[in-house]
A and B are shown apart, each in its own frame.
Chain A
């Protein structure tokens, strides 16, 4: 019997998934699927027009999200989801474009694009699944791996300083920055709802268990043990100074909504600026959110 025929086992977000591609490739206990569930719930609760939502992923375990979400969805190249999404959004401004990808994809190989999209306040929602490693390729050390944590290419433990992603995004100009763990699913949903309903660059980091690689290599137990770690060590501090959000190995996890501010998006700034300078010669572009002065 096919999954879609088993009525009693129907998943409430099934209409947002490509059921013809299920079963998915993620390991049992992996946290990526739970973030997808939060995302789907946020889409439902905001009642956003789903035909106008597009999902762009890079490459990685998380990068596979685009392939499972039943919306216009793009599985691009490693690191380039953000600029791809930038082009998509600018070409078709009525779209709400969500970038759903991994820490390595977004902040490692794609780091330059990430900070520039934040700087421009590009109207994008970036959901970053941070599992502290390059999972898809076998658990290599990443720009987010805590010091001392073991990885397949840091077999004696990591000694490189990791990124504090909310601080990076705040400094680069993101107008919405939040961090949660895969334990805070309701909060993740709420943050994604916030982001879907506001213009501008929103960045949501979700610390997520990679049971097969990061957890096993570091002998941290299974998915449940990791959620237990999140439960015991996370502390909600909305509005916390983003400079103080470093993550140490198995240390405290400060979570919350750290930044929420208003600033014209790239397109609004473009339209405002060029119509001021060029007057009637300027051809207004896309949906206009403000009065022309």
Chain B
């Protein structure tokens, strides 16, 4: 993995007052993203607006596509043209992108999609928050594959994690999602953008060996194939069909086994390196509040109140939602009595917690169907119930 310092052209060093959507655009520019293809959708549009205003002065392309099917297809094309690319959307657009998210996985195309979630299903609550696309991020396209998804809980983290998303996308050659929500997207807070030389950016894993020997999907020692771009004389082929090392279609179960295992294992086997969690007072906890995104900020109130009453509450915030921290949850399940899982949906990540807890710890879900954040009292009551 080759790390370089960020190109100062894209870095707006300084202290700013930005909303999460703008911070995502700034994070992308700092990470070296020079192509944005998107379609307007509330509550994500501000990222596209910011990018369209900034990119002409940085050097790159913004194109408003005809729909989200086009946006994601253009992104994949752009990446194979040699640039870093991103788009931003919300539920309905994320649904439209799913087929080509699968293509990006199959072609092992690094790219970043931010989903500023709103309440669903369907048009749902265009202007109000939700965390209802978390499972869609994991399973939305057909077939078996793995992705990476990060969940920022503040505009600062929108900036930081967008850079991280680009870096992870490049390291593992996988679509990487920033799963934020309307609250964080529209929340204005202080965002500190460091000088370019303090921002580490992962370069694409460019192939540098002899041209004749290049095979687009031959795995390197680290399990990730080298990448090239169109126009460099390789005359290579890539396809959404099940393919061999040459990138040629091979329609049989053996090749499928090789291809799919690789797409999944490159993430599964590196999960420990990818996953980032934030834990607090876990060691002594009898109950752990597990949350992500905006909900972890709301949960803080409930946790404080419970602690004041002497209840031993730990917190675990998923910064990486996918891959899911299976190992850590299994470990904790044998140490703590229960998990309280608030999320702005009617049950998504809680299934993962239940699966990993496997009956060893009680799991209490605190659902919210979207439209607003939890009342902290609902989380507090769940904590009380957990220790009853």
Contacts and interface: CB of A to CB of B under 8 A. Distances in A.
- Interface residues of B toward A: which range? 35 or more
B56 A274 contact: yes
A83 to B, nearest CB: 4
Interface stretch (A31-39, A70-78, A159-167): A70-78
Contacts of A113: 66, 69-70, 73
A218 interface: no
Interface stretch (A186-194, A240-248, A255-263, A275-283): A275-283
B231 A94 contact: yes
Contacts of A249: none
A74 B238 contact: yes
Contacts of A59: 240
A216 interface: no
- Interface residues of A toward B: which range? 35 or more
Given A70-B235, A72-B235, A83-B73, A95 B81 contact: yes
A197 interface: no
Contacts of B234: 72
A74 B77 contact: yes
Nearest to A280: B57
A91 interface: yes
B85 interface: yes
A256 B269 CA distance: 57
Interface string A105-142: 00000001100100000000000000000000000000
A213 interface: no
Interface in B61-90: 61, 63, 65-67, 69-71, 73-83, 85
User: What secondary structure prevails in chain A residues at the interface with B?
Assistant: helix
A90 B35 contact: yes
A282 B77 contact: no
A90 B57 contact: no
Contacts of B240: 59, 75-77
A18 B237 contact: yes
B236 interface: yes
Interface of A: 18, 20-21, 50-52, 54, 56, 59, 66-67, 70-77, 79-80, 82-92, 94-95, 112-113, 116, 266, 270, 274, 278, 281-283, 285
